């Protein structure tokens, strides 16, 4: 076994590419008892892969790294000239423990593996590294392809278009096998986009390198050193030369579409012949035009030049800001654009399409544009018109381009949508006084819409009605058109959005006629007439006078009637919000109580889109059409933002917003209402405004609106995020449900109901929290998390309001305070941590304007019993068959005497207790007395008894509300008192020990004494009696030096106290006078007697007098036995002055001493008698020496008069008298 052991290699191993390693020889150097031992140990390494805790990190110091969100690859950019010179790929190895990395300095080999795609990683193979003769450098070649190259080579004409490919020469040295040098391997130096490869660690198996699973991915971009000569190429265009259908007639005419594909490329010298390189390193903006002659339509907007964006190259390198791009490609090499044209010259003038391009990062760089080989033009085809038709649904807008947005609703909010009234079906019913549309159109021979038909008019009239009502007056309208300068324009659907006309307009072969019927109708049919061009209402169908296309459709085809439909009475079917003003501060939606909300609502009728669509158009009811028998209720509703935020501290439910009120108010000055909602009746106008506010705070409240038209239609919705559509155009205008954090204004401090301690324990810390509250007592909180202002709040301990035994003692604050008498509050709340040193029945602290009362409890450690009378009256005379009582004030207390209100009564019972153990009529703690056992003694002629009186609680044993309470039907005792009743038999010297249920075994104390009260329930003294000597160790004969102990008793007797075993006397504690006493004398024939009293005052107080008798100095003529007579005399005064003396004989035998024996603390063996004995002990060490005298029987004997001397004759510093009682 070695004290220590160290292994040291004999030869440092540096051989690379070996797995497993050859056997290694170590020296084992160990030590034992300062002797060094050395031996050789051969260690054979086990073949094992590198631990999975090793990770590889690769970098290219010669290139520029691109920071991207892609955490799997590292991106690097290098110029062609730099790669020609050569770049370094450096690998580092790390030990990874969790997220902590540490350096691994072990020399490891790396290799470069091409990656064909992003997800592919061909592990297990490695390029063949060749080793030259000098074995110092290893070389190999690899091919790196762009991961974005198309699967099939893009070849147009004699050229191939590519993102590039690299042929690289790699080298590494044996001294630095984790560093690889890379450069072009031939004279061809092409660029490349995202050449993907892996840098991997390898193991050498003796024949070749094997790739491990420790790799890192890299992507390399090789870019030209200077801006190349970029050019645009059209790769695909359809055949041209014919007339295409243009887009200028109407928006629904499906014009002919043209699709072009294009790319940007450049050429570089000293690269592969016949290859052109796709431009990827700059963003390109293409511009498509046709010499200013063709208007291109994109997204419904006409433009002379169509712009389209492409080529976002390297992620993270280029950031495009404030560029309005319509399309983005990040990996494609072709840009596609589709469009259609419009003939503006009415001439057959085919033109080529020009495609130009710009570098967005540097618009000064020239990119050569190109023209399509084909030419294109758009015109108006010839149509033949045969039919005039009515549609059941509206399918289009007769304005082109359509700029009008029509009112609809989303989540009960007003929104605007394009293509007014699309899918509106009149056959589903209409509402009196509310405009509704019907579409009519011209059809061609082949069934298409006649969008080249000249502009004309439609006449509408009532054809027939069936039922009790006829629909009233018919009015005809056109939806107001947009102006040339407008991009979009809003039409709300009220009558101001229309122009009343006698004929409705037909444009591009389509008319959308709007009309109203003033009264209900059960079954109405309308007539539509297609007027000849230029005719008015009165001569709408008069034949024209000249031959023209206007002859078609024929007259017989120019009149149509609708299907029957109904007109229902106007009633409010829904309300929508058209405007809202919110008093919101910040993103959290924080507001104050009393801050005004304002909303404007509109009454609408609903019209279904199509026959099965769930969505509807909403039309406002004209003024005078709405009913006044309806109401809207606004109420608050608590709701968390999301289900998983219910227990977030910011959204824990706190208040419900109180009661919504419409009274005029300013922030935080609110009156509480008795309802949580406010309702108002809608007037005879279609739009109504309401102002309201929250009256109480809320952690997350929404506002709910409930609509009831009192005719069976009800709906409920909540206020949402809403922006006027005029600012957002076609974008969505309705957001998520609004939730408000409603706060109030604190004006004073109040106790928080969350941390309220009405009962605390002594010396146990507790906390009190106060919050800032408003005038209604509602807590407030700050408006934002950033507001952490600190308030200094006055704090005091109200000693003059603290009552009860202990009164709280002193108060210590364990919270951090910056100023004496103040505590710090943050965000309208403050918490102070306190500790009270004494018990208190009613204590108070004041924090700000809030006062908190509490009781301080303390654990009981003792029961204090205070007799109602003086201590002398604890001795009571027994009266047969007449019980006696003894009154106490009693309570449980802690170690310093403070009352424990857990079980005992307060100092001032008149105060209402703050702490309740139980109710008045249910018993709480119970006070009881512990049992006391008496004793019997054998005496001459009978027995002496200490008595067996049974103490019991006469009243006050129940504890209510912490106070001992007497019998509640007989209030003969005050609160807090109990009565102990003594009955049955007399008794002396027994303890009165109390117990309280729940706290058993507590010691009873009287006025601070460590022992409880003693009770003497005595009988009058009538007799003096003595122990039977046989039971007190007085042998007959007794032995010299052995004491004889006996007792005399002052007793009394009761009638019929003689039993089968003799007379029974009871000890009497009756006072015998100031000089009273019991005496004893002894007379012996041949020895000297020694007799003395050994009784204590406690024994004498209950009538017990012990004596001790021994003899010494036998006379020379003694026969070995000494006979004595003992006489016990009663007191000479008092009740027993005439009592009879008692006597008894005792004999003593002489004891012969034969030897001395001693024992010491160093050697406890018993030694024989010697003239001297020597014992060695340590200096300054206490030594006990026991010296004993033995008689002939070997019994130790009490002797007197021993003297102790040292060897030099000096006395030892020990009092011999202390040794005499032990012999």
Q: How far, in Å, CA of 884 to CA of 865, rounded?
A: 18
Once rounded to an integer, what is the mean pLDDT over residues 37-51? Answer: 63
Q: Is the pLDDT of residue 1006 over 80?
A: no
Per-residue pLDDT at 821: 73
Q: How far, in Å, CA of 156 to CA of 353, rounded?
A: 19
Once rounded to an integer, what is the mean pLDDT over residues 177-187? Answer: 91
Per-residue pLDDT at 350: 78
Query: pLDDT tier at 793 (50, 70, 90 boundaries)?
Result: confident
Query: Mean pLDDT score of the chain, rounded to an integer?
Result: 75
Q: Is the pLDDT of residue 587 over 60?
A: no
Encode pLDDT of 661-689 as tens digits. Answer: 666 655 566 655 444 444 444 443 456 88
Query: pLDDT tier at 613 (50, 70, 90 boundaries)?
Result: low
Per-residue pLDDT at 518: 93
Token duo for residue 520: 């209900």
Q: Is the pLDDT of residue 32 over 80?
A: no
Token duo for residue 972: 């003969």
Query: pLDDT tier at 134 (50, 70, 90 boundaries)?
Result: low
Residue with tokens 């709340």: 829
Q: What angle do CA 452, 456, 458 make, to 5 degrees?
A: 125
Task: Please give the backbone phi and psi of residue 440, each rounded to the nearest 5 degrees, phi first.
Answer: -130, 155
Query: pLDDT tier at 169 (50, 70, 90 boundaries)?
Result: very high
**pTM here?**
0.52
Once rounded to an integer, what is the mean pLDDT over residues 914-927? Answer: 46
Residue with tokens 């690859």: 73
Report how far apart, in Å, the C-alpha atoms of 286 and of each of 224, 261, 369, 1089 are. Answer: 22, 11, 9, 142
Q: Is the pLDDT of residue 420 over 80?
A: yes
853 or 1058: which leads in pLDDT: 853
Q: Is the pLDDT of residue 590 over 60?
A: yes
Per-residue pLDDT at 559: 95
Per-residue pLDDT at 992: 79
Once rounded to an integer, what is the mean pLDDT over residues 102-107? Answer: 83
Once rounded to an integer, what is the mean pLDDT over residues 963-974? Answer: 57
Once rounded to an integer, what is the mean pLDDT over residues 254-276? Answer: 83
Q: Is the pLDDT of residue 1201 over 80?
A: no
Q: Under DSSP, is residue 671 helix (H, G, I), strand (E, B) or coil?
A: coil
201 or 949: which leads in pLDDT: 201
Per-residue pLDDT at 54: 81
Token duo for residue 552: 């078609």
Q: Is the pLDDT of residue 348 over 60?
A: yes
Report how far apart, in Å, the C-alpha atoms of 316 and of each of 150, 223, 319, 910 are. Answer: 23, 16, 7, 82
Bridge partners of residue 477, in order along the sequence:
500, 514
Q: Is the pLDDT of residue 254 over 50?
A: yes
Per-residue pLDDT at 188: 87
Q: Which of 616, 534, 251, 564 is nearest to 390 (CA)?
A: 564
Per-residue pLDDT at 365: 87
Token duo for residue 451: 């969008």
Task: Dump strand ranges (E) for 267-369.
Answer: 275-278, 284-289, 296-298, 301-303, 306-310, 335-339, 351-359, 367-368
Q: Is the pLDDT of residue 927 over 90?
A: no
Q: How far, in Å, CA of 205 to CA of 549, rounded?
A: 93
Query: pLDDT tier at 732 (50, 70, 90 boundaries)?
Result: low
Q: Which residues of 418-432 are buried (b: 16+ CB within 10 A; e: fewer)?
A: ebbbbbbbbebebbb
Encode pLDDT of 1144-1186 as tens digits. Answer: 888 887 766 656 666 555 544 444 444 455 666 666 666 666 6
Among 487-501, 537-551, 1209-1223, which stretch is predicted with the lowest mean pLDDT?
1209-1223
End-to-end CA distance of the chain: 61
Per-residue pLDDT at 562: 96
Q: How far, in Å, CA of 309 to CA of 359, rounded?
A: 10
Q: How far, in Å, CA of 436 to CA of 431, rounded?
A: 8
Cβ atoms 1102, 946 nearer than 8 A: yes
Per-residue pLDDT at 775: 76
Encode pLDDT of 617-675 as tens digits. Answer: 889 988 766 655 677 888 888 776 555 554 555 555 566 666 666 666 555 666 554 44
1073 or 203: which leads in pLDDT: 203
Per-residue pLDDT at 330: 39
Cβ atoms 82, 184 nearer than 8 A: no
Encode pLDDT of 930-966 as tens digits. Answer: 777 777 788 877 888 888 777 777 766 666 545 566 6
Identify which of 234-248, 663-677, 737-751, 950-964 has the greatest average pLDDT: 737-751
Query: pLDDT tier at 843 (50, 70, 90 boundaries)?
Result: confident
CB burial of residue 737 (10 Å; 0-12, 13-18, 19+): middle
Token duo for residue 1016: 């003497």
Per-residue pLDDT at 233: 92
Q: Which of 678, 710, 691, 843 is nearest to 768 (CA)?
A: 843
Q: How far, in Å, CA of 284 to CA of 899, rounded?
A: 91
Q: Is the pLDDT of residue 870 over 60?
A: no
Identify which of 130-139, 241-250, 1107-1116 has the greatest average pLDDT: 1107-1116
Cβ atoms 876, 803 nearer than 8 A: no
Once rounded to an integer, what is the mean pLDDT over residues 1005-1018? Answer: 72
Q: Which of 658, 660, 723 is nearest to 691 (CA)?
A: 660
Q: Around Cβ 987, how many Cβ atoms within 10 Å?
A: 26
323 or 1047: which leads in pLDDT: 1047
Query: pLDDT tier at 786 (50, 70, 90 boundaries)?
Result: very low
Per-residue pLDDT at 395: 87
Per-residue pLDDT at 314: 44
Token duo for residue 354: 């020009």
Per-residue pLDDT at 991: 77
Q: Under DSSP, is residue 325 helix (H, G, I), strand (E, B) or coil?
A: coil
Query: pLDDT tier at 907 (50, 70, 90 boundaries)?
Result: very low
């Amino acid at each position: 076994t070695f004290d220590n052991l160290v292994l040291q290699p004999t030869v440092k191993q540096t051989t690379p590419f070996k797995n497993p390693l050859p056997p290694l020889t170590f020296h084992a150097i160990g030590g034992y008892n300062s002797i060094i031992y050395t031996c050789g140990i051969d260690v054979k390494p086990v073949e094992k892969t590198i631990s999975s805790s090793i990770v590889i990190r690769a970098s290219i110091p010669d290139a520029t790294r691109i920071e991207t969100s892609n955490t799997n690859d590292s991106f690097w950019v290098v110029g062609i000239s730099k790669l020609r010179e050569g770049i370094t790929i450096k690998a580092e190895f790390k030990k990874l423990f969790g997220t902590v990395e540490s350096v691994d300095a072990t020399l490891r080999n790396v290799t470069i593996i091409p990656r064909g795609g992003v997800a592919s990683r061909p592990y297990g193979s490695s390029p063949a590294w060749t080793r030259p003769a000098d074995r110092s450098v290893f070389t190999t070649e690899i091919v790196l392809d762009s991961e974005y190259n198309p699967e099939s080579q893009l070849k147009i004409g004699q050229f191939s278009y590519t993102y590039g490919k690299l042929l690289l020469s790699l080298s590494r040295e044996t001294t630095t096998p984790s560093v690889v040098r890379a450069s072009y391997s031939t004279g061809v130096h092409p660029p490349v986009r995202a050449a993907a490869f892996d840098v991997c660690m390898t193991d050498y198996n003796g024949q070749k390198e094997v790739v491990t699973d420790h790799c890192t991915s890299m992507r390399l971009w090789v870019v030209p050193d200077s801006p190349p000569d970029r050019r645009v190429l059209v790769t695909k265009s359809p055949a041209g030369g014919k007339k295409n259908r243009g887009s200028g007639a109407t928006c629904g005419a499906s014009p002919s579409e043209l699709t072009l594909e294009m790319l940007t490329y450049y050429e570089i010298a000293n690269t592969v012949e016949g290859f052109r390189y796709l431009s990827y390193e700059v963003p390109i903006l293409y511009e498509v035009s046709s010499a200013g002659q063709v208007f291109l339509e994109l997204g419904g907007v006409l433009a002379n030049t169509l712009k389209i964006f492409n080529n976002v190259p390297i992620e993270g390198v280029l950031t495009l800001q404030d560029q309005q791009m319509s399309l983005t490609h990040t990996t494609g090499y072709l840009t596609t654009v589709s469009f259609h044209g419009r003939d503006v010259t009415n001439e057959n003038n085919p033109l080529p399409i020009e495609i130009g391009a710009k570098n967005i990062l540097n618009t000064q760089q020239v990119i050569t544009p190109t023209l399509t080989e084909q030419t294109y033009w758009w015109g108006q085809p010839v149509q033949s018109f045969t039919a005039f038709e009515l549609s059941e649904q509206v399918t289009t807008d007769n304005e082109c381009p359509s700029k009008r947005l029509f009112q609809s609703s989303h989540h009960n909010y007003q929104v605007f949508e394009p293509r007014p009234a699309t899918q509106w079906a009149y056959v589903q019913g209409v509402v009196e006084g509310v405009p509704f549309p019907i579409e009519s159109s011209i059809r061609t021979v082949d069934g298409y819409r006649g969008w080249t038909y000249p502009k004309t008019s439609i006449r509408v009239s009532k054809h027939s009605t069936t039922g009790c009502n006829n629909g009233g007056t018919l009015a005809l309208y056109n939806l107001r058109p947009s102006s040339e300068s407008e991009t979009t324009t809003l039409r709300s659907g009220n009558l101001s959005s229309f122009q009343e006309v006698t004929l409705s307009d037909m444009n591009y072969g389509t008319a959308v006629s709007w009309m109203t019927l003033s009264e209900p109708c059960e079954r109405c049919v309308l007539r539509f007439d297609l007027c000849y061009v230029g005719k008015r209402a009165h001569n709408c169908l008069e034949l024209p006078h000249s031959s023209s296309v206007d002859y078609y459709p024929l007259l017989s085809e120019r009149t149509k009637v609708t299907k029957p439909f109904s007109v229902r009475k106007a009633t409010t079917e829904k309300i929508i919000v058209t405007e809202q003003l919110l008093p919101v501060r910040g993103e959290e939606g924080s507001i104050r109580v009393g801050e005004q909300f304002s909303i404007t609502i509109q009454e609408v009728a609903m019209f279904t889109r199509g026959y099965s669509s769930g969505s509807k158009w909403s039309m406002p009811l004209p003024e005078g059409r709405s009913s006044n028998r309806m109401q809207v209720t606004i109420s608050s509703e608590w709701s968390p933002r999301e289900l998983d935020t219910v227990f977030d501290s910011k959204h824990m439910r706190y208040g419900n917003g109180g009661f919504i009120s419409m009274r005029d108010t300013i922030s935080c000055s609110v009156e509480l209402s008795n309802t949580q909602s406010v309702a108002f009746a809608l007037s005879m106008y279609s739009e109504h405004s309401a102002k309201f506010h929250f009256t109480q705070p809320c952690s997350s409240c929404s506002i709910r609106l409930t609509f009831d038209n009192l005719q069976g239609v009800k709906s409920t919705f909540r206020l949402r995020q809403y922006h006027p559509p005029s600012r957002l155009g076609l974008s969505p205008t309705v957001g998520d449900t609004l939730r408000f954090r409603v706060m109030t204004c604190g004006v004073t401090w109040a106790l928080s109901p969350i941390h309220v301690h009405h009962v605390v324990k002594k010396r146990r810390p507790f906390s009190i929290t106060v919050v800032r509250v408003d005038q209604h007592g509602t807590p407030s909180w700050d408006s934002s998390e950033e507001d952490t202002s600190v308030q200094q709040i006055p704090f005091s301990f109200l000693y003059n309001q603290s009552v009860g035994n202990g009164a709280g003692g002193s108060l210590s604050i364990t919270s951090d305070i910056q100023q004496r008498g103040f505590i710090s509050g943050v965000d309208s709340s403050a918490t102070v941590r306190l500790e009270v040193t004494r018990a208190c029945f009613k204590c108070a602290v004041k924090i700000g304007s809030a006062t908190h009362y509490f009781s301080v409890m303390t654990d009981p450690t003792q029961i204090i019993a205070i007799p109602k009378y003086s201590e002398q009256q604890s001795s009571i005379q027994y009266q047969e068959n007449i019980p006696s009582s003894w009154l106490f004030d009693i309570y449980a207390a802690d170690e310093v005497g403070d009352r424990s209100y857990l079980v005992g009564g307060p100092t001032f019972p008149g105060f209402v207790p703050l702490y309740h153990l139980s109710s008045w009529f249910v018993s709480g703690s119970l006070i009881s007395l512990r049992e006391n056992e008496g004793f019997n003694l054998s005496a001459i002629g009978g027995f002496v008894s200490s008595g067996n009186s049974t103490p019991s609680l006469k009243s006050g044993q129940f504890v209510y509300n912490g106070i001992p309470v007497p019998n509640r039907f007989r209030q003969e005792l005050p609160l807090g008192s109990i009565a102990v009743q003594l009955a049955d038999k007399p008794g002396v010297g027994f303890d009165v020990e109390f117990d309280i249920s729940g706290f058993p075994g507590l010691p009873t104390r009287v006025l601070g004494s460590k022992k409880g009260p003693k009770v003497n329930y005595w009988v009058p003294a009538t007799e003096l009696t003595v122990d039977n000597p046989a039971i007190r160790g007085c042998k007959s004969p007794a032995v010299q030096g052995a004491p004889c102990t006996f007792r005399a008793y002052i007793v009394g007797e009761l009638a019929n106290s003689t039993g089968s075993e003799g007379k029974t006397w009871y000890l009497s504690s009756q006072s015998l006078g100031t000089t009273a006493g019991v005496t004893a004398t002894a007379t012996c024939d041949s020895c000297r007697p020694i007799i003395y009293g050994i009784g204590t005052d406690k024994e004498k107080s209950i009538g017990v007098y012990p004596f001790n008798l021994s003899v010494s100095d036998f006379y020379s003529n003694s026969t070995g036995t000494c006979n004595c007579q003992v006489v016990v005399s009663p007191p000479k005064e008092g009740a027993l002055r005439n009592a009879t003396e008692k006597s008894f004989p005792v004999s003593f035998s002489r004891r012969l001493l034969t030897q001395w024996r001693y024992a010491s603390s160093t050697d406890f063996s018993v030694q024989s008698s010697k003239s001297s004995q020597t014992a060695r002990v340590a200096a300054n060490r206490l030594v006990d020496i026991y010296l004993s005298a033995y008689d002939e029987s070997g019994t130790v004997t009490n002797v007197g008069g021993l003297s102790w001397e040292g060897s030099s004759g000096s006395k030892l510093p020990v009092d011999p008298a202390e040794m005499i009682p032990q012999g």
